[in-house]
């Protein structure tokens, strides 16, 4: 990429961001943003920009569509699994490799989870297998004066992409409510452990 501010805006097939990273080979970056439906690079200076951007997404189907801004004289290449796709300046369509798995993402719903433990601490297990879209998770806590200490995904399930948003305590602190989004490709048995103390 050589000039301008490269960015991508997704229009279909993407649920949310699962984070990202940037490896800069040359040029100068002011900021990189990974939003729920887009990513953008704000560069500084006039030097040619050469960077590798990893943009992890929660996808909902076999194809992701959107619009890319590729500055004149620049190129933007995307790797999905084993394939490499060069994005044009303008509209694009990228196969995700999910095939039939991406046909139907589990709909929004309400899931009740019991926090296991005592009055001083407890752990809640949230399943990710099969994915979720805007699912409200209501965790029933063991006491009203607990706070969220950690969220852990067992290392054997690294490829389960997820996001937890809008977490808050309810019913006088006896419940913790959070919205879960998880990729439908999340393998069976993948889960999160939320620890309260």
Write the secondary structure of the chain as one string of H (helix), E (strand) and C (coil): CCCCCCEEEEEECEEEEEEEEEEEEECEEEEEEECCCEEEEEEECCCCCEEEEEEEEEECCCEEEEEEECCCCCCEEEEECCEEEEECCEEEEEECCCHHHHCCCCCCCEEEEECEECCCCEEEEEECCCCEEEEEEEEECCCCCCCEEEEECCHHHCCCCEEEEEEEEEHHHCEEEEEEEECCCCCCCCEEEEEEC
Residue-level pLDDT at 50 = 81
The answer to whether residue 104 scores a pLDDT higher than 60 is: no
Average pLDDT over residues 96-109: 50
Cα distance between residue 149 and residue 110, in whole Å: 23
Q: Quickly state the pLDDT bin for 157 (edges 50, 70, 90).
A: very low
The answer to whether residue 13 scores a pLDDT higher than 90 is: no
Average pLDDT over residues 102-108: 45
Average pLDDT over residues 13-36: 79
**Higher-confidence position of 97 and 138:** 138
The answer to whether residue 12 scores a pLDDT higher than 60 is: yes
Q: Quickly state the pLDDT bin for 105 (edges 50, 70, 90).
A: very low
Phi, psi of 100 (to 5 degrees): -70, -20
The answer to whether residue 1 scores a pLDDT higher than 60 is: no
Which one of 19-33, 95-109, 134-148, 176-190 scores highest in mean pLDDT?
Answer: 134-148
The answer to whether residue 9 scores a pLDDT higher than 50 is: yes
Residue-level pLDDT at 139 = 92
Question: What pLDDT, in 10s, does the model give residues 44-102?
Answer: 877 777 888 878 777 766 788 889 888 877 788 887 665 677 888 889 888 776 654 44
The answer to whether residue 164 scores a pLDDT higher than 80 is: yes
> For the chain, how long is the longest CA-to-CA vector?
62
């Amino acid at each position: 990429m050589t000039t301008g501010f490269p960015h991508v805006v997704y229009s279909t097939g993407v649920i949310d961001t699962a984070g990202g990273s940037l490896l800069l080979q040359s040029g100068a970056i002011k900021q990189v943003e990974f939003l729920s439906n887009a990513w953008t690079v704000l560069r500084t200076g006039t030097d040619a920009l050469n960077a590798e951007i990893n943009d992890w997404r929660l996808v909902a189907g076999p194809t992701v569509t959107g619009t890319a801004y590729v500055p004149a004289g620049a190129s933007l290449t995307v790797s999905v699994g084993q394939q490499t796709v060069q994005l044009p300046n303008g509209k694009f369509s990228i196969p995700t490799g999910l095939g039939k798995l991406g046909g139907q993402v589990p709909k929004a719903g309400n899931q009740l989870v019991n926090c296991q433990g005592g009055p001083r601490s407890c752990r809640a297990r949230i399943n990710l297998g099969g994915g979720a879209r805007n699912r409200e998770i209501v965790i029933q806590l063991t006491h009203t004066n607990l706070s969220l200490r950690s969220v852990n995904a067992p290392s054997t399930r690294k490829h389960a992409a997820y996001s937890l948003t809008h977490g808050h305590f309810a019913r006088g602190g006896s419940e913790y409510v959070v919205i879960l989004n998880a990729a439908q490709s999340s393998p069976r048995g993948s889960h999160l452990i939320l620890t309260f103390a």
